[in-house]
Amino acid sequence: MNKKSSQATPFSAPSARLKLQEVNHVAFGQVPIEKQQQYVDLHQAGDNQSCLELAESFAAHYPDSRFAWKALGSSLLRNGALDEAERALNRAASLQGEDPEVCNSLARVYHAQGRTEEAIKLMHRALEIEPDFASSLLWLCREMADKSQYDAAIELLDNALLYSPEHRDFLKKKANLLLRAIRHGEAAELLESLCALEPDNAILLHSLGNAYYNLGRFEDAENKIQASRELDPTNFLLASDHLLLMHYNPHLSAETIHQAHLNWDALFATEAPVARATVDQDPDRRIRVGMISAGFRIHPVGQMITSCLQFLPREDIELYCYTMNDKFDPYTQLIQRRSDEWRSVIRLSNEELAERIAEDRIDILIDLCGHTEGNRCKTIAMRPAPLQVKWVGGQINTTGLTAMDYMITDHVETPEGVDHLYTEKLIRLPDDYICYIPRGDTPSIGAVPALENGYITFGCFNNPTKINAQLIEQWASLLLAVEHSRLFLKGSQFGSEELCGRVRAMFKHHGIDEHRIHIEGRSPHVELLDAYNRVDIALDPWPYSGGLTTCEAILMGVPVITLPGPTFAGRHSATHLTNAGLAHLVARNWQDYRRIAIGLASDIPKLEHYRSSLRQQLQHSPVCDAHRFARHLNSALRAIWQRHCSGKNPTALSFNPNGQMQFANEDTFTSVRINELPNPRDPNHSMVQPDFVWSLERHIVVMDCGSKLLLDPGFDALASTNAFQVIGFDPASRVPRSDDDGTRENVQVFQHTVLGDGKPSVLHACIDPAWSSVCEPLPADALPGAMQLPAQVLTTLPISTLALDDIEGMNQLDWLILDTSGNPLTILENGRKTLESTLLLQIRCPTQPRYLHQPDLSHLIASAAESGFTLHCLTDLQRVSSCDGLQNAFPASQLDSVDLLFVPCEARLAKLQIEQLLTLSFILHNVFNIRDLPASLIHRIDPDLAQRYIRAAAHMENPQQAPLESFVRPGTAKNQDKEFNLPTAPHMSRDERELFARCLSFAESYFEFGSGGSTVWAVAAGLEVHGVESDAQWVNALTRELGDRCHLVAVDIGEVGEWGMPTSNKFAELFVDYSRAIHQLQQPFDLILVDGRFRVACAARAIEHTLRHNTNLASTRIFIHDFWNREQYHPILEFLELVERVETAGVFTVREDLDRAALRSLWESYAHDPA
């Protein structure tokens, strides 16, 4: 192959080629060389109109010249005339010889038409003709990088560099790709050579600094980045990137990083404020809130805001979403449905975006980007909104922007005393600063791996960039302390062998052999989560902690140990753990970090307990409580708006644990009037929120004899409220041992001890520890067959008993729980003094004979009455089956045991103080889900307060808000008030189904307009199902049930009724998006089902998609249901060939040589017709 040089312009015009064309132009009717040069000069000057006119004259005068048609096609492309450009370039391609420029330009036409795969093929063809053709090569590298195909792009560049080894653009692109491929060592070596050639290139120096950062060469990195800043002090994007990198550096202080943020603001936030219209200063009106983000999707931002946004009342908040990403997934659907306005701002400049926000009259603008790539800090600096707030998304520190008024945070992320490190005024929420929603692909939790492995596996699935030499030194010391332990590292960057080798070498330096370090790269999300089933204990990195990763580890039952770092970025795990009731896993220093880890590693029962309880504990904690979070967020936004309307400057706002707000330097709580949060079954409905809150001045003291409460799966969630102090007696040692460092705060457990009369006793230890008791079980022949084995006594053990009245330091007991491990009559008799002030008595009562001398119901009622208690209700009813030996044949019906719930009698209730009445009400409401008695008790305090409780109780869910995906039961889809089961077959006749099944059997790639039974069948046939539907709830239900093969997209066409039919034409402008949806996919389909809304328009678009993406038209079958019986659909027949007809269904192929203009006209006529 002859070597040819090339330029980055669309027309390469080397003199050798021009001379050759000059020699031949007379003989072959070519454009004269001087005219070619005239065109190239106009093109390089950017004069598109003159280029087009000149190219048109070329085509007219030199119809056999490839240059003429190439020039015309390129000019038409730049002017947006894609179809005309395609025809001109195809004419050029048809003339003698192959030209990489023609391939390149035609590829760009295809790409603009959405025909990406065809474009890629042509770009590759251009490189086959000329391997170093720059325009095609760099385009392909960008395309591959967007798909994370870094190594393939580097291979292309390496091939081109064989022909042009010193081509700077190729070398720079390779360096960039090496960085993105996590091949930092190679990137640094190449960038060093490039910087030597171009020492004044700020971007190259910054990239080299980035590579050094990832290699742990922090001092060298800072030097290069500082040099870059000096060369290009106006490049705000490089400065923002530096701010992000600084948080990975273990040697930088919080103050140093803070100053860097202030410097950014001083250098770059200099734009004049954008002009804003005067807004209505009514503090009680509906607030217009804008959010800017590229993360309105399956993304850390999406997973931390989506659930709470669903419960922001529309009456209070008018939500405008400014998206910087066109990706669309189920999270996008949820956010888009909640938003009142959805605006794509990808192509808007910072100034244009500021103007748009100002034109939209946004009251409060919330930034969800920070200083991340593509950020809008320059827009924020122009102050397009009266109030501007920082929240999730690049939220790792102060933004440094003086134009940013507030930051939403919490008391753990930003403890008291750090306000001086933030330019924003801090809004400290009472719980976590985010609200986590798990994705719908969470796998089941397995057993503790150490049980099978025989050794402890520590793990970290965080971004490997967070792993540095100082952290590895600490982890290595931990591995040395825990004999035979392993470390499992997993992250997408570990696909780089260079990085893996570097990490193993650093561990080796500290005495850790390679076999103890297991490293894995990227995997699908469900496999990533499942990998936690191979981890016993998760280790959080430092100084940049995990966020979403920590939540996912807890979700999978794996405890996470963290040491908070010096900045906001280093405290994510601390707040998530604390608010999930796991504050004891937050270390004070490295010594504490190791102590916690070593303690857990030696306590397998504790790890088993975590495995079985952490998921529920997380989901029931404030971390996932969308209702609670939205209420606080709504209150905070209203409070700062009210303050703004009163003419006061922004100042810090803090919530107390009861949700009461107080501005800094103010003596009173701030009250706001907001609407009630939406009910999860009806997200468009809300009620006035009563201002009732629980207000407890002390811990509720619980004594749990037999550990019934401690062993309850929901106990950790209950304990996470920090409302209870629990004293447990565990005679059969059933409670997993806690660490001896106070890990279970406010919980004290006495093992092999039971309440009684204070005298030595005997414990009858049974095969089932739940039967173990100081009372002797009945002989086996006196028990039902199913109880005989569990009740068998293995041995008798001496046991100490304590008399309730003899326990020293017991100033108050609020709630006493007795199970069958002790003798309840003896316990009550020896606790009369203590029971005088006890508020709640819970006694387990077998309803069938179990033990010798077992007290019956009447004896228990009488004994409780002696201490002033009356039986209020029965709870926790347990039943056994009467089908001995056939226990699973039918649901059990025979009552076996109940809990008796006793409350103070009327005489005692009349004497209770306000605090005692509230405490008893709190327990009944939050633990037993009882509403009537609390209402009556609160009425004794204040009738108005009782009315507020009654209104609030209707919306106080128990247990707390679960993740969104748990709202829908498996196998059932719910759409607000409507409920429907997933179909098992398409809604067709038997013969029509048979036809459809045959089509599926021959299909390899499938798309459907309209979903349901067809989706179920297609997935069952092993197909990946792509499709469009108008009902997002229906799509969510199908996706949840059918899994990863279901790729349906919900297109918003406004409110829909049965069968996805729009209820009105109010959103008619959205209707066209339904039939267009197929063009989002740049791949051919060999089976397309048309069985939804907009049937003619969808069929037209299916035909157009087939014409674009399938060279063999006969290979694509279009199946249209309910067709022959509806004549209004028949105009589409002009463009189809019938293959087979069964009843109302027809199978068609696309006609050859059809009139595309007529097809487009038909689509335009039917695009708004939902029939």
Give tens-digit pLDDT for 414-438.
999 999 999 999 999 999 999 999 8
Residues in contact with 160: Cβ distance below 8 Å, sequence separation at least 6, in sequence order = 127, 131, 132, 137, 167, 170
Count Cβ atoms within 10 A of the Cβ of residue 892 and give its class: 0-12 exposed, 13-18 middle, 19 or more buried.
middle
Structure tokens at 985: 């077959």
CA 120 remoteness from chain centre = 32
The amino acid that residue 1154 corresponds to is L
Q: Could you tell me which of 590, 524, 588, 486 has the C-alpha nearest to residue 250?
A: 590
Contacts within 8 Å (CB) and 24+ apart, 93-97: 95/64, 95/65, 95/66, 95/69, 96/66, 97/66
Residues in contact with 978: Cβ distance below 8 Å, sequence separation at least 6, in sequence order = none
Structure tokens at 662: 């107080």
158-179 burial code (b ≥16 CB/10 A, e <16): eebbebbeebeebbbbbbbbbb
282 three-state secondary structure: coil
Match domain 255-435+625-684 to its CATH number in 3.40.50.11380, 3.40.50.1370, 1.10.443.10, 3.30.450.30.
3.40.50.11380
- Where do the CATH 3.40.50.11380 domains begin and end in the chain? 255-435+625-684
The helix (run of H) or strand (run of E) holding residue 560 is strand 560-561
Contact 102, 129 (CB under 8 A): no
We find that the CATH architecture of domain 700-767+795-882+889-911 is: 3-Layer(aba) Sandwich (3.40)
- Where do the CATH 3.40.50.2000 domains begin and end in the chain? 449-622
Instruction: List strand residue ranges (DSSP E) for 638-723, in order.
Output: 653-655, 661-663, 700-705
Determine the Cα–Cα distance for residues 119 and 126; give it in Å rounded to an integer: 11
Contact 773, 762 (CB under 8 A): no
Count Cβ atoms within 10 A of the Cβ of residue 374 and give its class: 0-12 exposed, 13-18 middle, 19 or more buried.
exposed
Determine the Cα–Cα distance for residues 813 and 836; give it in Å rounded to an integer: 9
- Where do the CATH 1.25.40.10 domains begin and end in the chain? 15-246
CA 881 remoteness from chain centre = 43
DSSP states along 979-1035:
EEEPPSS-SS-HHHHHHHHHHHHH-SSEEEES-SHHHHHHHHTT--EEEEES-HHHH
Contact 222, 187 (CB under 8 A): no
Contact 1028, 1048 (CB under 8 A): yes
CA 136 remoteness from chain centre = 36
Determine the Cα–Cα distance for residues 75 and 109; give it in Å rounded to an integer: 11
Contact 921, 934 (CB under 8 A): yes
Structure tokens at 922: 């709190």
Sign of CA dihedral 773, 779, 780, 782: negative
Determine the Cα–Cα distance for residues 855 and 713; give it in Å rounded to an integer: 28
Contact 390, 424 (CB under 8 A): yes
Instruction: Count Cα atoms within 13 angstroms, Cβ side, for 1046.
Output: 26
- Strand 1117-1120 relative to strand 1046-1050, pairing: unpaired
Question: Residue 897: beta bridge partners?
Answer: 846, 878
Structure tokens at 786: 């199913």
List, for the chain, all residue ranges whose pLDDT scores fall below the cut of 50. 1-28, 678-691, 739-743, 887, 956-980, 1057-1060
- Looking at residue 737, its pLDDT comes to 63
Q: Could you tell me which of 711, 717, 741 has the C-alpha nearest to residue 616?
A: 717
- Looking at residue 549, its pLDDT comes to 97
Tell me which fold the domain 969-1166 belongs to: Rossmann fold (3.40.50)
Predicted confidence (pLDDT) per residue in 929-945, tens digit: 888 999 999 888 777 66
Sign of CA dihedral 259, 264, 266, 272: negative
In degrees and rounded to multiples of 5, residue 930 shows phi and psi of -95, 135
Determine the Cα–Cα distance for residues 686 and 670; give it in Å rounded to an integer: 22
Determine the Cα–Cα distance for residues 921 and 103; give it in Å rounded to an integer: 77
Determine the Cα–Cα distance for residues 921 and 934; give it in Å rounded to an integer: 4
In degrees and rounded to multiples of 5, residue 835 shows phi and psi of -70, -15
- Rounded-to-10 torsion of CA 24, 27, 31, 33: 40
Sign of CA dihedral 949, 954, 955, 960: positive
- For the whole model, what pTM was predicted? 0.56
Contact 965, 1040 (CB under 8 A): yes
Sign of CA dihedral 376, 381, 383, 389: positive
- Looking at residue 847, its pLDDT comes to 87
Structure tokens at 544: 């940049």
Radius of gyration of the chain (CA): 35
**Domain 449-622: top CATH class:** alpha beta
CATH code, 15-246: 1.25.40.10
In degrees and rounded to multiples of 5, residue 264 shows phi and psi of -60, -45
Distances from the Cα of 366 to the Cαs of 45, 320, 376, 409, 836, in angstroms? 42, 10, 11, 13, 54
The helix (run of H) or strand (run of E) holding residue 1138 is strand 1136-1142
DSSP code, position 28: H
